[in-house]
Amino acid sequence: MKNTYILLYFLLKPSKITLVILMYYKKLIKKLMLEAVTKINIKSFFSILCSKLTIKLSKLMSKGGTNFPGTVALKLDKNVLKTLTKNYKVILVTGTNGKTTTTSMIYNLLKESGLDVITNASGANMITGITACFVSNYSFKNSKKQRYAVIEVDEANLKFFTEHSVPEIITITNLFRDQLDRYGEVYTTLNKILEGVKKVPNSTLILNGDESLLGKLDLPNKTLFYGFGATDDMNSSIDVNADAKFCKFCNTPYKYEFVTYNHLGKYFCTECGYKRPNLDFAVTSIKEKTTSGSYISINDTDLYVSQAGTYNIYNALCAYSIAKELNINDDIILKSFEKQQSSFGRQEAIDIEGKKVKVILVKNPAGYDEAINTLILDKNKVDLAFLLNDKYADGTDVSWIWDVKFEKLLQLDTDRILVSGERLFDMAIRLKIAGFEENKFALCNDFEKLLSEIKKCNSDTIYILATYTAMTGFRQFISSKGYANKIW
């Protein structure tokens, strides 16, 4: 047993205190081994144990620990996910935009219905983060209780999960250009997802029917589609910068009965006859859209989506579809949607000395344009902040900002334009070209400066549009200042 402690010490290595902790838990480890021997193999046991210790140490040292514990587990046992997910019915959420919000909506629906459910709420959606989520919720006690797991998974990491576990449901939200340096164009993203889906023919697929890339996938899986019925405020022309404009079978430009946003809508090909599939779940009316949410009907059931924008209607529609597939009744769905709160950085409202600061994650032209379409509904005086980074999680190629319609924001009543992030000068140039007056700009080299400028704003509402690492960095910074709860 002594050799085991030494092995764990050299594996984790954060400090000499690790060895002390392991020796302290010596009796507990022996007890756990005896309990686990009838449940899992020794390799999985040590993998999970080391990962759990890593989580505890990370918390003690305030290191977060959303991915590294999973790295430890997978390094010791590459098949550990098979053990970890054994008693779970897993719902996987993937796609370009809307993963975190949709995952949160589904999770809350299942909780509201009384089901025992876990989720990777931090948004750590790589296979290491997902593994860490299951490890943190794993018990060595020989329990056979059935649980649910609602898991957000990165498009390229889906295949690593389905290699070891068969999910109950896989849902794909949409496919847009995103992180061009990592994914390339939309067909590359689609192929990465399909590589994972093809490993699990018994999983149910719940797909966005308005996404032309997701029709006729030629898969054996049970497949259900959700999408929009025609509503009054939609047009039939697709934007020149839209992503999947050409038929995936014959390359003819699609025609549309209506477009919801970007290339999503009721599409059809005049050449080969490919068209949107029949919908199992549909938005049948949109009664009102505001900067706070939308009043809609799905399959003629009236409900309120407490997050603004067409993209959040899609997220709610996806969650509704999964709830109905799981036989959750409408009363529970309505109650859950009414209680739904924004995930961190997804239209999250933060009070900074009496000012409402709304943080909105933006990471590609499609999502950015939809965020802008939501902001311009606000007829009050507002100020704007733009945060642009170019780290791996943001995409190192920031040329995509030239495809965003920043010009629409000129119709807002705005006095201050705050710009920050690693690529603040790229963003400032783009905004100046869009037509914003130079005397409104404040360039902020760090978050201290940004916070100072926010406090100087005369408007009661400041919208912050930020790429992923800029959003998480700013979120952690204001948490350290006491303006928001810590996430990690």
Catalytic residue positions, numbered: 397
Residue 50 assigned ligand-binding role: no
Helix, strand, coil % in the chain, rounded to nearest 5? 40, 20, 40
318 is in an annotated binding site: no
Q: Is 148 exposed, middle or buried (0-12, 13-18, 19+ CB in 10 A)?
A: buried
Integer Cα distance of 195 and 216 in angstroms: 16
Q: Walk across the sheet containing 355-361 and list its strands.
A: 346-352, 355-361, 461-466, 381-387, 413-420, 441-444
Beta partners for residue 306, in sequence order: none
Establish whether 444 is an annotated binding residue. Answer: no
Of the candidates 128, 122, 125, 104, the one whose C-alpha atom is nearest the C-alpha of residue 476 is 122
Backbone angles phi, psi at 352, to 5 degrees: -120, 100
DSSP code of 393? T
Both tokens assigned to 172: 């794909």
Strands (E), 132-280: 147-152, 169-172, 204-208, 223-228, 255-261, 264-268
250 is in an annotated binding site: yes
Annotated binding site for Zn(2+): 247, 250, 269, 272
Annotated binding site: 247, 250, 269, 272
